[in-house]
Structure 1
Amino acid sequence: MTGTGGRPEPGEAVRVPRPRTALVLRHDSAIGLGNLGPTLEAHGYEIVTIDAPHADVAALDPLAPDLVVVLGGDEAAYETDRYPYLADEIAMLSARVEAEAPIFGVCLGAQLLAKALGAEVRRGPRKEVGWLTVEPTAAGAVSPVRHFAGVPTVQWHGDTFDLPEGVERLATSSQYENQAFARGEWLLAVQFHPEITDDIHEDWLREWGDELPEYGLSREQLRAERASYGPRAQAASAALLGDYLAGLEARSLVA
């Protein structure tokens, strides 16, 4: 019982809401949370970042975090023999899928999630690199991915995956059919990189820019495109993640 105006009676215990926790699985320090971080914090999430290659992922409680965010990386989801921690991540994601516990995957994270859902992940015919657009599907047009309609975003990947059973395809591109998928309000995966900030973009150009001429690109071209498209992409990123998190909040109210 509370007193007048919703105040607790003298001696009554006050319940303090437990902060929501977002566990971030990172695979490379250059491929970080970026502009997703401020949106998570604005929605009341405490961010805990784990560097998967150097952590005992198998020892983590897969259901303890309120949300798991799986970021990109140079690894391939099918290279579990070479990178054993990827198998542990897939096991964690499988446990969360079974419990319908929220997951947000980006690039490698989307591929690991596809594998956890039983789909094949494989090398694509050619890398998809640059500031490119994705096209929302009919389902995507009423999903958080709609914010990227007509908004170029960074692609930098050479792997792809079959669409897992029981999910909705939310976006496609001319080169790769599966650019985003979801299951209900709790699972969202994107092949593109909404997290890109100016600093991350520059890190990638420094780290992997030597491969750009193979795709008819240059560091200077991508810098110019970042200057042109970056602000819109960052706004779309905040809107995409914000909508997804709002959906989780609404889901928790009826659970």
Structure 2
Amino acid sequence: MNERAALVLEHEADTPAALLAEWADTRDVPIEVVRAGAPIPDPADRPFLVSLGSEASAYDDAVPWLAAERTALDRALAVGVPVLGICFGAQHLARALGGTVAPAARPEVGWLGVETLAPETVPPGPWLQWHRDAFTLPPGADLLARSPVGPQAFRAGPHLGVQFHPEVTPAIAADWARSFPDSVRGAQTTVAAVLAGSDEHAAGARVRAFALFDAFLATVRAPILG
């Protein structure tokens, strides 16, 4: 690709790009990871921007780096740079597009199925979920997947938000299960169940994740190819 690296906004060390970075390497898509708190380059001349997960809440304006990320999102939206939001990133993207974010009716944690309305973009799960907040569908956005708790994926023009974690590997899921036991208990599951799900679903989750990322990339490249 004869273009500058896509921007990937990483908020904590334990929420890395992981499978997203692996996918990007196999597709010859250069990425530049920017950690929360570091200056965010202007996204205007980048092929796309990705906002990853976070322990923070997208509605908490006291988060010290949130305003800078919102500025980057608003800039990307204004100039038509596609944005992929994952979990927290999807919530922040939804908020930037006019939706709302608030505590969910209940947390979703573990390997859970979603009802997909667009299997070509969001293959049926299970997908790894790990969130206590939820977003409303932004005005004019298309709902792509849902669960009893709320929207799970949406598209707004070239922008895609997913509430689940397609980027996560089994090792990351295991780390989260052991490091955040209160999240597991609050979702009425167990560390053992999360670990077993990771073992069972790892191979399929990788295939589904690559399909989702490919679907997003197709929208990024469509104006060039058309």
Cα distance 1:55–1:229, how it changes in 2: closer, same or farther (>3 A)?
Answer: same
| 1:50 matches 2:34 | yes
Deviations 1:19-42 (A, max 9, x none): 441111011110111111121122
TM-score scaled by structure 1?
Answer: 0.83
Q: Match of 2:65, SS?
A: helix
| 1:223 matches 2:203 | no
Q: Match of 2:172, SS?
A: helix
Q: Match of 1:45, SS?
A: coil
Tell me the equivalent position of 1:11: none
Deviations 1:194-227 (A, max 9, x none): 1111221122122212432233222111111111
- Give distance in 2, aligned partners of 1:233 and 1:85: 31
Q: Which moved more, 1:204-213 or 1:112-121?
A: 204-213
Q: CA deviation at 1:191?
A: 0.3
What are the within-5 Å matches in structure 2 for residues 201-216 of structure 1?
201-216=173-188
Tell me the equivalent position of 2:16: 32
| 1:41 matches 2:25 | yes
Q: CA deviation at 1:18?
A: 2.6
Unaligned runs of 5+ in 2: none
Q: Verify the 8 A CA contact 1:131 1:222 in the aligned structure 2.
A: yes
Q: Verify the 8 A CA contact 1:43 1:245 in the aligned structure 2.
A: no
- Give distance in 2, aligned partners of 1:183 and 1:132: 24
| 1:155 matches 2:129 | yes
- Give distance in 1, aligned partners of 2:4 and 2:22: 14
TM-score scaled by structure 2?
Answer: 0.94
- Give distance in 1, aligned partners of 2:153 and 2:165: 11
Match of 1:73 among 36, 43, 54: 54
Q: Verify the 8 A CA contact 1:166 1:183 in the aligned structure 2.
A: yes
Q: Verify the 8 A CA contact 1:28 1:51 in the aligned structure 2.
A: yes
Tell me the equivalent position of 2:102: 122
- Give distance in 2, aligned partners of 1:216 and 1:83: 28
| 1:179 matches 2:152 | yes
Number of corresponding residues: 226
Tell me the equivalent position of 1:6: none
Unaligned runs of 5+ in 1: 1-16
Deviations 1:35-70 (A, max 9, x none): 111211222221111111x3133xx21313211110
Match of 2:91 among 98, 111, 135: 111
4+ runs of 1 displaced by more than 3 Å? none
Tell me the equivalent position of 1:7: none
The structure that has the greater radius of gyration is 1
What percent identity do the matched residue pairs reach?
Answer: 35
